[in-house]
Amino acid sequence: GGRVVLGGPPRLPALPLIGSLLSLRSPLPPHRLFQDLQRKYGPTFSLMLGPHRVLVVNHHRHAREVLLKKGRAFAGRPRTVTTDVLTRDGKDIAFGDYSATWRFHRKIVHGALSMFGEGSASIEKIICAEASALCGVLSQSSCLDLSPELTRAVTNVVCWLCFSCSYSRGDPEFEAMLRYSQGIVDTVAKDGLVDIFPWLQVFPNADLRRLRQCVSVRDRLLQDKYLQHQVQDYSDHVQRDLLDALLRAKRSAENHNTAECVDLSEDHLLMTVGDIFGAGVETTTTVLKWAVTYLVHHPQVQRRIQDELDRRIGGDRAPRLSDRGSLPYLEATIREVLRIRPVAPLFIPHVALTDTSIGDFTVRKGTRVVINLWSLHHDEEEWTDPERFDPGRFLNSDGSGVTVPSPSYLPFGAGVRVCLGEALAKMELFLFLSWILQRFHLSVPPGHPLPSLEGKFGVVLQPARYQVNATPRAGWDHASPPHGQ
């Protein structure tokens, strides 16, 4: 007979105060550990982190139920010490709890981003200018660590988007920003214990102190940009960037005296811009770094992309967004990078806003739900030999177009809290990679080992740093840019 009464999912052992921490001691990063625990507990199980019950979801069926079918029920966000420091008590979009304020903010940002959206020439121009500068740097040095170069290129795209300004190499403000981003990433990655036991906050915690310092540097920087924008009396017709869009929404709310103007405090605006910085730079840069890492490991994939570029675009013009449809192998490669090394192997936790269920399991209001994207993307039932890098998985049978071969693929999440930057990220990945690969062959310097594919788990799954050789391809070894640009 079928079970009529719903029960909770299988549980890891738990002790008072520390919860299931003892079962979680492991050299493995959490996403790999959770993937392994499935063998013993099944694809959805629960554990206690301190006082909090956490559900870990490792299978696409349950993941889609949480994100899509019951998206509203699971749209909450937990408040943690770390994210409170980061966002001035949850006043942003990524970590803010589901509320009217949050929906309103998301709407404005969504509108502002779509003004730069898919079809917009301005964002394409910005990305191509950065791609061009990046290729300039590559052509000047035979061997370099691409990490800071990619970070600067992506940061500049986001800077243009938010504030209409960009940074050149060695700019002190840019260096300061790099340091604070790194600081935030390192700290939030390690945040573990303070978030599980908020009372540890009273003890001097070097990490939390560093986070507070980094955040105050960031806030000062955002504040400066904000003031510059208020001073430059912008006309309501020219919307230069995201900050203009937010300021305009704020003014219009104040003029019409709507309830929403309360929620558009300077704090909220700055946190939202801070979000787009935090989310927009670290993630896209990391995907680019993984792409380069895998291309260096798989020269045959690189060559195939280059053949496609030579055939479809040739050597006398740069790639454009409108070429996306005619470069399926490059597109498939980007999808495979997002599958094999998802930037966020564990999604930001969701919180159940009501009593609800997942599959046959009851879920109490307040339960935290963590979706393990790593498990979805490495599920052997769905992906043959999941650790093998194979862009071909995403090509249709005759190789003329891209497909998604499995429902177990959610690199940008789904539902109410789907990634806001998906379109922008895809544009950047496509343009940066096509520009670089059209002009250069990437390899490891002679005598150097291939970079590790392990990845360091933090806010994002970071590849190791390593030196790369960018050799100009035949016909690209002259300094002049291609004609017809």
Cβ distance 313 to 371 under 8 Å? no
Share of the chain above pLDDT 70, in %: 77
Let me know if residue 40 belongs to a domain.
yes
Sheet holding 143-145, edge to edge: 143-145, 467-472, 440-443
The answer for residues whose C-beta is within 8 angstroms of residue 148's C-beta and 6 or more apart is 178
Q: What is the DSSP string of 432-448?
A: HHHHHHHHEEEEPPTTP
Supply the range of the domain harboring residue 151: 21-472
Cβ distance 440 to 118 under 8 Å? no
Most confident of 163-167, 191-195, 471-475: 471-475
The pLDDT assigned to 193 comes to 42
Let me know if residue 155 belongs to a domain.
yes
d(CA 29, CA 35): 10
Considering its fold, how many domains does the chain have in total? Answer: 1
Q: What is the pLDDT of residues 305-347, one digit of tens each?
A: 999 999 999 989 999 999 999 999 999 999 999 999 998 888 7
Q: What is the pLDDT of residues 121-136, one digit of tens each?
A: 688 989 999 999 999 9
Regarding predicted confidence, which is higher, 39 or 164?
39
Q: How many CB atoms lie within 10 A of CB 438?
A: 22
- CA nearest neighbour of 411 among 366, 364, 377: 377
Let me know if residue 484 belongs to a domain.
no
Q: What is the CATH number of the domain that holds 263?
A: 1.10.630.10
Let me know if residue 10 belongs to a domain.
no
d(CA 182, CA 87): 16
Let me know if residue 123 belongs to a domain.
yes
Type and span of the H or E element at 422: helix 422-439
Backbone angles phi, psi at 25, to 5 degrees: -70, 120
- Is the pLDDT assigned to residue 392 strictly greater than 80? yes
Cβ distance 448 to 145 under 8 Å? no
The answer for residues whose C-beta is within 8 angstroms of residue 207's C-beta and 6 or more apart is 187, 190, 191, 194
Cα dist from 312 to 21, 33, 390, whole Å: 54, 44, 22
Let me know if residue 7 belongs to a domain.
no
d(CA 340, CA 78): 28
Q: Note the helical H segments in 385-421.
A: none
Indicate the annotated binding residues.
419
Let me know if residue 482 belongs to a domain.
no
- CA nearest neighbour of 41 among 23, 53, 16: 23
Indicate the annotated binding residues for heme.
419
Q: What average pLDDT does the segment 192-211 reach? A: 51
Let me know if residue 4 belongs to a domain.
no
Specify which residues 76 forms β-bridges with.
351
pTM, 2 dp:
0.85
Q: Which of 143-157, 191-205, 250-264, 452-466 has the lowest mean pLDDT?
A: 191-205
The pLDDT assigned to 238 comes to 63
Regarding predicted confidence, which is higher, 463 or 87?
463
Regarding predicted confidence, which is higher, 8 or 258?
8
